[in-house]
A and B are shown apart, each in its own frame.
Chain A
Amino acid sequence: MTGAIDISALTVRYAGATALDDVSLTVPHHGLTALIGANGAGKTTLVKALCGLIRPDHGTITVDGRIAHVPEGREMFPDMTVDDNLRLGGWRTRRRDTAAIYDLFPGLAALRARRAGTLSGGQQQMVAIGRALMADPDVLVVDELSLGLAPMVVTSLVDHLVTLHTTRDLSVLLIEQNARLALDLCHYAYVLESGRIALHGPAPILARDPRVTAAYLGGHIQVTDE
């Protein structure tokens, strides 16, 4: 056991199509690690295997401590209240007291009786993070923190994540399509391409790697071109 997460030679196939091919990845204790890659690269598949939601075809996964998961698309219980959504996050740990989450996200306190399906995307992302924290995790996996959210909302969520990481000694694996955001934020990064790790290294070095800048950091220009 060397890290908070150790993935070794992970292979996942969907009905014959290989989504992850011999992937190895480590998130060190107290690390803030990014996994970036284009749509369909296999990032969410890796998260699902890591959190035990799908069974790998090959490879080993070890997690030191409790892992919690902020899923892609936020995955609210839309017709249940914010408070019930949070409370369900403590299902495994039998923790039911949500007060600490409202201390962390004061904005949610006024919404506690609202149905989660009626919240904005940013508010739902706060609920999704709060729900994951209810499990008292040692390791937090966030799948697409910024997707579909306004820049100001993203800034606030990033601040929260950094605070959590530093004050709680939380090890974080952040999955992001916004590579610039991820490389600015994290210490170390992996680049996933078509189910394989194409590159990895300290984030500041990857941010200057021509292969990364060409493929991922020109993203804003690519998006407007499309």
Chain B
Amino acid sequence: MSDLIGYLLTGLGIGAGFALVGSGLVAIHRVTRVVNFAQGGFAVLAALLTSTLLSAGLPHGVAESGGVALGALAGLVVGVIAIGRPGTSPGTSLIVTLGLGVLAYAIEVLIWGDQPRSFPGLTGVAEVGDARVPAHYLLILAVTAVVFALMAWFFARTDPGRALTACASNRYAAQVVGIDVRRMGLLAFTLGGALGGLAGVLTTPVQQVTFDSDVTLIVNGFAAAILGGLSRPMVTLAGGLLLGVTQTVVAGYGGGAYQLEVALVLMLTVMIVQAARTGPVPEAAR
């Protein structure tokens, strides 16, 4: 029983990372229709910079914020290159993000090398029932809950949030009322970059980060996001948490080698079911 509670909590913590990466994909796709394959790279960049800033003596909080800020900046840069030219099709932009993801490997290896890195997070052990889990998992969950609540508020209640939602809802109508949809796309990429960065900064203390950690994150984040048709943040949150828990439980009961396969099988199942209904990637109205 205490094993199970432990697996659940660690699974939720890991899953929160997938959910954050996935919600970044959603934030970008809703507005631009681009599936951003560089999304996992934002997490890696943010985590690597945070490790450097912490070893340089910066305090916690500042170093992590620096990492998230780099994620946001990387998001903006990817956005400018992927959708900056008017008339670029979402398919072309997708390939561009894929290329930039690979380019990021080169930059990361050049600066940080190819060895795994990590940094300490919240220290201590929390007792939940009769289970003992590292307290950092609870921090991940708390921050993720706050971030998703903030996002819901941002999209529904603020002017830029409403404008992003408007672009997602009806791109043509957004142009009619004078919203610059390209600029909103860049804002979405920046937001996606920050969310990816946050995922990396939050989960690295309980894992590790290497230049190619983005693969696990993007596969799981994409699996979570596709559950909600790449357009629904809250479904993505649920999907990410479910994936994290499933994988931790599978690993905990002896299937440690099959973690990524769980996500791949789920993702393929969802995609096949959705393709049978609507076509490969669900088309929103316009």
Contact = CB atoms under 8 A, between A and B. Distances in A.
Nearest to A75: B173
Interface in A74-98: 75-80, 84, 87-89, 91-92, 96
B176 interface: yes
A135 B169 contact: no
A75 B169 contact: no
For the residues of B in contact with A, the DSSP-based class is helix
A195 interface: no
B179 to A, nearest CB: 6
Nearest to A96: B159
B177 A84 contact: no
B169 A71 contact: no
Contacts of A92: 177-178
B285 A78 contact: yes
Contact of B176 (A51, A78, A87, A96): A51
25 contacts: A51-B176, A53-B176, A71-B172, A71-B176, A75-B173, A75-B176, A76-B173, A77-B165, A77-B169, A77-B173, A78-B169, A78-B170, A78-B285, A79-B169, A80-B162, A80-B169, A84-B162, A84-B165, A88-B166, A88-B174, A89-B177, A91-B177, A91-B178, A92-B177, A92-B178
Contacts of B177: 88-89, 91-92, 131, 135
Contact of B178 (A76, A79, A80, A135): A135
A69 interface: yes
Contacts of B176: 51, 53, 69, 71, 75
Given A75-B173, A80-B169, A88 B162 contact: yes
Contacts, number: 49
A77 B179 contact: no
Interface in B264-279: none
Interface string A17-57: 00000000000000000000000000000000001010000
Given A75-B170, A77-B174, A88-B163, 5 more contacts: A76-B170, A78-B169, A79-B169, A84-B162, A91-B178
Interface of A: 51, 53, 69, 71, 75-80, 84, 87-89, 91-92, 96, 131, 135
A88 B165 CA distance: 11
B207 interface: no
B68 to A, nearest CB: 28
Contacts of B172: 71, 75
B162 A87 contact: yes
Contacts of A69: 176
A171 to B, nearest CB: 19
B2 interface: no
Contact of A91 (B169, B170, B179, B285): B179
A169 B169 CA distance: 33
